[in-house]
Amino acid sequence: MSDRAKPHPASVWVLIFLLLFLGLNAAVAGGMFIVAPDGHLIQMPLSDLKNSPFSDFLLPGLLLFLCVGVYPMVIAYSLWGRPTWQWPDLLNPFKRMHWCWAGSLAAGVVPMIWIMVQIQWVQASFLQVVVFGWGVLIVALTLLRSVRRYCIRKL
């Protein structure tokens, strides 16, 4: 059975859902910040950035859109279809694993870092706790034996 023909365990389907949900939400929020860098579409005043290095939400919106939005959706696709792209393997430190596994770990760590940096500049909220927990859940699922087994390459 080829690597791409392996059946998806339930844990992989849950991981794909979590990555897609995280990515879609972050892409929408990031997109709203890009379209309206003053924050009015999300009802976030520019005063929320007073302790940050940013004068508006454009750069944070771009980072949110790409790193916490688009990236997890690409990784969800890679978990689902396990494409044979060669270039991601250049960044993959786990050569026995399909690169989507390392990408999934990173996709869980990125929102945790995002939130840890964010709370240095803005007041913490319940939503930040949820997003941080979502990242922890993605990392935990990625580390499950069933997910690792699904992502291991045939040598």
Residues whose CB falls within 8 Å of the CB of residue 15, separated by 6 or more in sequence, listed in order: 76, 79, 104, 138, 141, 142, 147
The residue-averaged pLDDT of 85-96 equals 91
Q: Residue 134: CB partners within 8 Å, gap ≥ 6?
A: 18, 21, 22, 111
- Average pLDDT, integer, range 60-64: 97
Cα–Cα distance for residue pair 55/38, rounded to 1 Å: 9
Task: Please give the tally of structural domains in the chain.
Answer: 1
Q: How confident is residue 121, by pLDDT bands cut at 50, 70 and 90?
A: confident
Query: Which residue range(s) make up the domain with 82?
Result: 3-151
Within 13 Å, how many C-alpha atoms sit on residue 84's CB side?
4
When the pLDDT of each residue in the chain is averaged and rounded to a whole number, the result is 93
Q: pLDDT value at position 27?
A: 98
Of 43-47, 75-79, 87-91, 116-120, the range with the highest mean pLDDT is: 75-79
Q: In the structure encoding, which two tokens stand for residue 117, read together? A: 């940096």
Name residue 82's amino acid. R
For residue 4, pLDDT over 70 is answered with: no
Q: What mean pLDDT comes out for the span 69-73? A: 98
Query: Taking the model in full, what pTM does it have?
Result: 0.91
